[in-house]
Amino acid sequence: MPMDAREIESMIREALPDAQVEIKDLAGDGDHYAATVISSAFKGKTRVAQHQMVYGALQGRMGGVLHALALTTGVPQD
């Protein structure tokens, strides 16, 4: 069963409470999403570490229930 965009956003916000999250359904099938996640928790972390934090927030659903997630991450601009 596909994941809903609201569920993805909720899980990310739970793990990264200050995050600005934007989710787009790329194919309309609930399996292919793009996410932009901006959080101060990413400060000083590599892009790979930032993505790992987001994947961790999804609690193992990546590659299973959630087939594809194109990620853009970053820190807030002051």
Predicted confidence band of residue 14 (pLDDT cuts 50, 70, 90): very high
Residues facing residue 45 across a β-bridge: none
* Residue scoring higher pLDDT (30 or 77): 77
Q: What is the pLDDT of residue 7?
A: 92
Query: Domain 5-74 maps to which CATH number in 3.30.300.90, 3.30.300.180, 1.20.120.430, 3.30.465.10?
Result: 3.30.300.90
pLDDT one-digit tens code per residue, 30-69: 778 899 999 999 999 999 999 999 999 988 777 666 778 8
For the chain, domain boundaries? 5-74
Residues facing residue 74 across a β-bridge: 38
**Residue 71: pLDDT over 90:** yes
Distance CA 41, CA 31 (A): 27
Q: What is the pLDDT of residue 72?
A: 96
